[in-house]
Amino acid sequence: MVKIKVIEERDNHIKVLLQKSGRAFANALRRTLMTDVPKMAIHKVRFELGTFKDDQTGEMYESVGALPDEVIAHRLAMLPIPTFHDDFCFLADDPANEGLPQEEWGSPASQIIYHCNERGTPEGHLVTAGSLKVLGEDKLKIPEAYHSIPITKLFTGQYLEFYATAILGCGSEHAKWNPVAGVSFTPRRVATIARPQKAKALWDLELSITKSDFKDKKLDDVLKVEQLIRELHHVGDGTERIEDFGDAITIEEIPGEFLFSYDTDGSMSARTAFTEAVKVLSTRFSEISSQLDEAL
């Protein structure tokens, strides 16, 4: 049974230690996070086109700008849309679709709609992710941390208005539905002082890892070992200190243990993404087990 220990966690980042695991499982988890964890993303955009006159200022506005609609739609597709898996279903599974043609599918159970209506200024008005107003609950607003993501810039006489629809999807269908980035895993390692006298070449640099971090000449704290490996570059190959340091500290891998880490795009917390990935894997392995039982 694989054991999981959280080493480091922030809202959009997590690093865990997989124990009693193998590379195959770690890689399956990596691929599942990227391709099979459902995520909300803007899938359809309806741009309002035309011209109008501002009754108060008398200024004329036209739906033109520096960027084509296709480029704006692409930028919108990559925005982090808040994803609540228990509140929404896939568009194709929406019970409100019954009897409707596919182009009319969708209801509040399967989609989120955002509206944007911005006008240009002489100095240039920057339209950002914060310009999108959700037609629904406040919790579905674009997170404030991402309000500064730029979409386009409007100048005098220009306006931009659109309705953008977000739906659930998976990264296997399109990159816009990939909720994670930088997904990686490496073997867990421990460090041992093999030659204390030569190790002094590293301690003399007064970096963050010191001799006192080692207990009985060993260092097994996960984060400190990772930091030590980075600091060993100061005395490693290609440096003048390599002759003095040599193999003073050895690094060994622990069989069956891996450090697994990634960031999310902000559409969900790192823990939520991990939980959803484990659910997908659990279901998949159960189905394979059932098929094997039937076949055998």
pLDDT in tens, 148-183: 999 999 999 999 999 999 999 999 999 999 999 999
User: What's the confidence (pLDDT) of residue 14?
Assistant: 97
Percent of the chain with pLDDT over 70: 97
With a CB cutoff of 8 Å and minimum separation 6, the contacts of 75 are: 150, 151, 152
| Residue spans per domain, the chain | 3-36+181-263, 39-177
* Separation CA 183–CA 259 (nearest Å): 11
Supply the CATH classification number for the domain 39-177.
2.170.120.12
Residue 82 contacts residue 267 (beta carbons within 8 Å):
yes
The helix (run of H) or strand (run of E) holding residue 193 is strand 180-193
Smallest CA-to-CA distance from 258 within 4, 16, 18 is with 18
Q: Tell me which of 3.40.605.10, 2.40.10.120, 3.30.1360.10, 3.40.50.2300 is the CATH number of domain 3-36+181-263.
A: 3.30.1360.10
Query: Phi/psi at 290 (nearest 5 deg)?
Result: -65, -40
**How large is the average pLDDT for residues 56-72?**
92
pLDDT digit string (tens) for 103-155? 999 999 999 999 999 999 999 999 999 999 999 999 999 999 999 999 999 99
pLDDT digit string (tens) for 10-19? 999 999 999 9
pLDDT digit string (tens) for 33-62? 999 999 999 999 999 999 988 888 889 999
Residue 175 contacts residue 41 (beta carbons within 8 Å):
no
